[in-house]
């Protein structure tokens, strides 16, 4: 375990790639509603000393974002910029604090797939983990592939135009 950990730290220092959430993987949800977080993602979590996970619904896609406390604090800084009694800050807190969920991994590196995740992402039996550099996301497998192909198509037209 710690051998892997320190190895990843070394690799991260050398290659500068292993220290962020990258690529995607699909795992099955067992009868108790648990799913294994991909080992590369767990390695990143360990490297960043993240033991408490903060989950939030994505604002545009039917996916749930998962990250460390810094993910929450990033949103909170944005809220703090507004007037604390304004309706805007109120609504934003409703999303970030009321919609956010705190989670932990079990000893094997699994997380519970709650109805909160199931309903919002449309997940039933399988779940796709998608790296997003500083956090990762939970997707319904097919929805992820569709969104990715759609993004690729849109990106092609976008890249064709001179930036």
Q: Which residues bind DNA (CB under 7 A)?
A: 3-4, 25, 27-28, 30-39, 42-43, 104, 106-110, 112, 114
Crossing angle for the helix pair 87-96 and 69-81, nearest 10 degrees? 170
Which does residue 14 touch among a copy of itself, DNA, none (CB within 5 to 8 A, set by kind)? none
Residue closer to a copy of itself (CB basis): 97 or 124:
97
Q: Are 52 and 68 in contact (CB under 8 A)?
A: yes
Chain Cα centroid distance, residue 25: 13
Site string for a copy of itself, 47-86 (x = CB under 8 A): ----xx-x--xxxxx------xx--x---x-x------x-
Using a 10 angstrom Cβ sphere, with 0-12 exposed, 13-18 middle and 19 or more buried, the burial of residue 156 is exposed
Which helix or strand (DSSP H or E) is residue 4 part of? helix 2-15
Question: Which residues are CB-contacts of 61 (< 8 A; sequence separation ≥ 6)?
Answer: 137, 139, 143, 147
> Is residue 148 a contact point for a copy of itself (CB under 8 A)?
yes
> Is residue 37 a contact point for a copy of itself (CB under 8 A)?
no
Calculate ∠ Cα 39-46-72, nearest 5°. Answer: 105
> Is residue 159 a contact point for a copy of itself (CB under 8 A)?
yes
Chain residues in the site for a copy of itself (CB under 8 A): 15-18, 20-24, 40, 51-52, 54, 57-61, 68-69, 72, 76, 78, 85, 87, 90-95, 97-102, 130-133, 137, 144, 147-148, 151-152, 154-156, 159, 163
């Amino acid at each position: 375990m710690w051998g892997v950990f320190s190895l990843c730290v070394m690799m991260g220092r050398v290659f500068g790639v292993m220290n962020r959430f990258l690529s995607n993987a699909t795992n099955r949800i067992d009868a108790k509603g648990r799913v294994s977080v991909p080992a590369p993602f767990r390695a990143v979590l360990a490297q960043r000393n993240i033991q408490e996970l903060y989950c939030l619904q994505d604002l545009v896609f039917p996916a749930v974002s998962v990250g460390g406390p810094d993910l929450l604090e990033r949103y909170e800084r944005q809220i703090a910029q507004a007037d604390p009694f304004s309706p805007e800050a109120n609504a934003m807190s409703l999303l970030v604090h009321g919609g956010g969920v705190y989670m932990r991994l079990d000893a094997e590196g699994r997380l519970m797939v709650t109805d909160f995740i199931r309903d919002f992402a449309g997940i039933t039996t399988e779940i796709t983990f998608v790296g997003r550099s500083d956090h990762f996301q939970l997707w319904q497998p097919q929805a992820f592939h569709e969104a990715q192909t759609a993004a690729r198509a849109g990106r092609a037209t976008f890249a064709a135009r001179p930036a």
